């Protein structure tokens, strides 16, 4: 007799919850033939590059993994996904990675509708199995903490649907080779395959081959789900401050830009009055506060908006001087001298950040004694600049750190680097990190050059 009803999602979830509080090793030992199962667990890990999902499928649910278009539990319409998260150094938790779903079939997606699509049929109801990733532990000793059914909430459905249509239309136009995770907000098209050579696929309406890609939920989206739905064990996740009008037919991006446009050319004093902002104490974040209040009177920073957080949109307010110049370059989080030397360019934190991140620039320009809202725009670092100019700066940085020159990294004054540079990004000269040669060096980060950014927003 089956340990769960294969036709019933609740029964499947209840059986899944029996894994909570167990490590993957304990999961194998809890079976009647635990010695054989533990041996099988090691075989799965060894032969499938640490595939803990297959271990859950075979040992706990008792079925062989497959690549069918149907959900894993076809009779119940439930897809199984095992996904890691980790504890942040300061506080809170983050998804470790995106959640990869099914492969995108370039040939068939162009004739699908969203509701009849292979994506929706396979992923409309997902059993999420979350485990706590800990760097120094054996994979079998990771702890399974939460098992919960997940359906896309109404507030996300439209954006997910818009993202799917964006991917479909690009394929339909013969541009599958141009797909990028930055094209969309929650649902993205990530590369899928061991190497680029073996994962190239034909596409309709173009002779050019495209990398194989899969639908995936962005790590930022999974982090939001984790912290507002999974870990609190909510039947539906807690809704935060939203910026999207639920009655709009526009995409998230278009809605944001159109909303900003209504306030173009207004000075700060006018915006303060119009949006009923208390600026009596002259807040340092006034421009960010104005941008947030344009959408929601409860928001103090647009970065805190639910949709912005899920979509991993990085909001940057900028100041143009009267002459149209930008004084400041754009900074990013500091890097670890010890970690960066163990990365390759292809798997580097910097490259992945730019490949997965879309920026929202909110631009104010000096007008007399005040600043006025000039424009807002979405921006992605062009891949050509990423794979050439930014790569050169990154490689020079790594080379110098490896050779004991962490104090002498590529600077803005170096004419070889026209897009980016490195400089300190610590609180003061005592805010340091260890270097590979046993020393200490002030925290540093990558910056995009101010003149490069000016050229990008002026195009």
pLDDT at 282: 82
| C-alpha to C-alpha distance for 238 and 309, rounded to whole angstroms | 14
**331 and 203 within one domain:** no
Count CB-CB contacts under 10 A for residue 32.
Answer: 6
Angle between helices 391-402 and 349-356 (to 10 degrees): 160
Last residue of a domain, one of 230, 250, 275: 230
pLDDT at 1: 39
DSSP H helical ranges for 88-153: 106-109, 118-123
Q: Domain of 116: which CATH number?
A: 3.40.600.10
**203 and 345 within one domain:** no
* 337: in domain: yes
pLDDT at 109: 98
CA dihedral 295, 297, 298, 302 (to 10 degrees): 30
What is the mean predicted confidence (pLDDT) over 210-228? 96
Check pLDDT > 90 for residue 64. Answer: no
What is the mean predicted confidence (pLDDT) over 360-375? 96
| Percent over 90 (pLDDT), the chain | 79
pLDDT at 34: 41
**222 and 81 within one domain:** yes
Find tokens 């919960």 and name the residue. Answer: 148
Last residue of a domain, one of 174, 203, 230: 230
Q: Which domain holds residue 413?
A: 326-359+378-458
- Per-residue confidence at 453, pLDDT binned at 50, 70, 90? very high
Domain count, the chain: 2
| pLDDT tens-place string over residues 11-46 | 999 999 999 999 998 887 766 544 455 555 556 555
* 312: in domain: no
Residues with Cβ within 8 Å of residue 348, at least 6 apart in sequence: 340, 394
How, if at all, do strands 358-367 and 313-320 pair? parallel
pLDDT at 65: 77
Count CB-CB contacts under 10 A for residue 394.
Answer: 23
Rounded alpha-carbon distances, angstroms, from residue 86 to 26, 117, 140, 432: 20, 33, 16, 24
Last residue of a domain, one of 191, 212, 230: 230
| pLDDT tens-place string over residues 227-254 | 999 999 887 656 678 999 988 999 999 9
Q: What is the pTM of this model?
A: 0.89
Give the tokens for residue 285.
């974040």
- For residues 322 and 31, the model is more confident at 322
- Cα 10 from chain centre: 30
Q: DSSP per residue over 185-236, as a string?
A: SSEEEEE-SSSTTTTEEEETTEEEEEE-EEEEE-HHHHHHHIIIIITTT-SS
What is the mean predicted confidence (pLDDT) over 323-331? 93
Do the Cβ atoms of 227 and 238 come closer than 8 Å? no
User: What's the mean pLDDT when you consider all of the chain?
Assistant: 91
């Amino acid at each position: 007799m089956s340990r769960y009803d294969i036709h019933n999602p609740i029964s499947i979830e209840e059986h899944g919850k029996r894994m909570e509080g167990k490590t993957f090793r304990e999961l194998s030992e809890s079976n009647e033939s635990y010695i054989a199962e533990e041996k099988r667990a090691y075989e799965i890990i060894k032969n499938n590059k640490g595939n803990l999902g297959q271990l859950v499928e075979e040992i706990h649910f008792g079925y062989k993994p497959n690549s069918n278009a149907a959900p894993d539990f076809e009779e119940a319409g439930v897809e199984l996904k095992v996904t890691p998260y980790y504890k942040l150094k300061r506080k809170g938790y983050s998804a470790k990675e995106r959640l990869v779903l099914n492969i995108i079939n370039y040939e068939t997606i162009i004739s699908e509708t969203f509701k009849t699509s292979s994506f929706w049929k396979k992923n409309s109801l997902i059993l999420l199995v979350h485990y706590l990733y800990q760097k120094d532990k054996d994979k079998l000793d990771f702890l399974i903490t939460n098992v919960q059914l997940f359906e896309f909430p109404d507030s996300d459905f439209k954006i997910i649907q818009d993202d799917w249509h964006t991917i479909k239309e690009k394929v339909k136009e013969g541009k599958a080779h141009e797909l990028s995770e930055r094209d969309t907000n929650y649902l993205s098209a990530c590369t899928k395959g061991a190497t680029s050579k073996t994962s190239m696929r034909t596409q309709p309406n173009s002779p050019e081959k495209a990398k194989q890609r899969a639908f995936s939920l962005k790590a930022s989206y999974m982090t939001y789900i984790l912290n507002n739905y999974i870990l609190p064990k909510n039947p539906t996740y807690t809704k935060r401050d939203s910026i999207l009008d639920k009655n709009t037919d526009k995409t998230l991006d278009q809605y944001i830009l159109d909303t900003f446009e209504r306030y173009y050319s207004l000075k700060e004093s006018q915006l303060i009055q119009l949006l009923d902002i208390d600026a009596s104490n002259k807040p340092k974040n006034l421009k960010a506060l104005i941008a947030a209040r344009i959408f929601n009177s409860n928001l103090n920073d647009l970065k805190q908006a639910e949709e912005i957080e899920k979509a991993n949109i990085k909001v940057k307010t900028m100041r143009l001087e009267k002459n149209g110049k930008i004084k400041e370059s754009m900074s990013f989080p500091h890097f670890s001298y010890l970690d960066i030397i163990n990365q390759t360019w292809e798997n580097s934190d910097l490259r992945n950040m730019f490949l997965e991140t879309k920026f929202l620039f909110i631009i104010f320009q000096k007008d007399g004694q005040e600043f006025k809202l000039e424009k807002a725009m979405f921006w992605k670092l062009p891949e050509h600049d990423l794979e050439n100019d930014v790569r050169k700066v990154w490689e020079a940085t790594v080379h110098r750190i490896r050779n004991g020159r962490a104090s002498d990294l590529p600077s803005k004054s170096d004419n070889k680097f026209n897009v980016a540079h490195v400089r300190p990004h610590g609180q003061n000269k005592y805010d340091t990190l260890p270097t590979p040669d046993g020393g200490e060096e002030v925290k540093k980060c990558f910056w995009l050059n101010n003149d490069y950014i000016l050229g990008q927003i002026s195009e």
